[in-house]
Amino acid sequence: MHTQILATEARPTPREFGVGARVTLAVMSSDYIEIILGALAETDATGLEIETDDVSTWIAGDEQRITEYLAELIAAASRGGEHVTASVLFSRGCPGEISCELPPGRTALVSEVPTVPPTGVTASAQWALYPLDNQGSPGREADHMRDIYEAIDRAKANGSYVRSDHYVTRLSGDVATILETVAGGWVLAGRTVAHVTTHVTLAVNSPSGVVR
């Protein structure tokens, strides 16, 4: 019994660790209500806690399911051909929300990098990654610029990297590949830094075409 408690303390669940996301999905069409509600209804929410308010939809669960869900949701809203933008925030390590108090000794949560099947929907995106504390973990000091460069190298390796721009990295490709890049950077930085957030804005079916 005591052992079990210790094991739980050593590896909190994603929910206990504050793993989750928010997405603001915008559809540039007068039919936006049906398109957004339709996309929310048809996207598989197994294993997730989901709550929609007037600004965004909150999604909590493990990193793999959250990333799959977001890819499916954004693709579903875009398949009718309307111009769609999605602003996504992933967060980890802030279970007490704004107060951000982690139990002592819990400096980071090691998770698997999410992999998502292609959606067939292509987007342009602008991405920023924020490792927010400097605690580090045994054997590896936290270093936010190192984590960011590693995340960008992964984006170059999977082909989603386009270029750096003011305050963001520009990505393009399948919505799934873009979200793999973003969630992957977030999970990898989160292996040494407890509190990590990342923001990405995706644009699908832009009337100005894909800018590279």
Binding region for a copy of itself (CB under 8 A): 18, 20, 22, 24, 26-33, 53-56, 58, 60, 83, 85, 87, 89, 91, 94, 97-100, 124-126, 128, 130, 132-134, 144-145, 148, 152, 164-170, 197, 199, 201-203, 206-211
Q: How far is the CB of 176 from a copy of itself (least distance, A)?
A: 18
Of 2 and 160, which CB lies nearer to a copy of itself in the complex structure?
A: 160
Q: How far is the CB of 117 from a copy of itself (least distance, A)?
A: 24
Of 49 and 117, which CB lies nearer to a copy of itself in the complex structure?
A: 49
Query: E-strand spans in the chain?
Result: 20-27, 49-52, 57-60, 84-92, 122-131, 161-165, 168-174, 196-204
Of 115 and 212, which CB lies nearer to a copy of itself in the complex structure?
A: 212
Distance CA 70, CA 150 (A): 23
CA proximity to 70, closest of 34, 37, 97, 44: 44
Of 27 and 116, which CB lies nearer to a copy of itself in the complex structure?
A: 27
Q: How far is the CB of 148 from a copy of itself (least distance, A)?
A: 7
Q: How far is the CB of 190 from a copy of itself (least distance, A)?
A: 14
Distance CA 178, CA 41 (A): 23
Q: How far is the CB of 25 from a copy of itself (least distance, A)?
A: 9
Rg (CA), the chain: 17
CA proximity to 127, closest of 96, 108, 154: 154
Instruction: For residue 125, report the phi and psi dihedrals to the nearest 5 degrees.
Output: -150, 155
Of 180 and 199, which CB lies nearer to a copy of itself in the complex structure?
A: 199
**Cα 37 → chain centroid:** 21
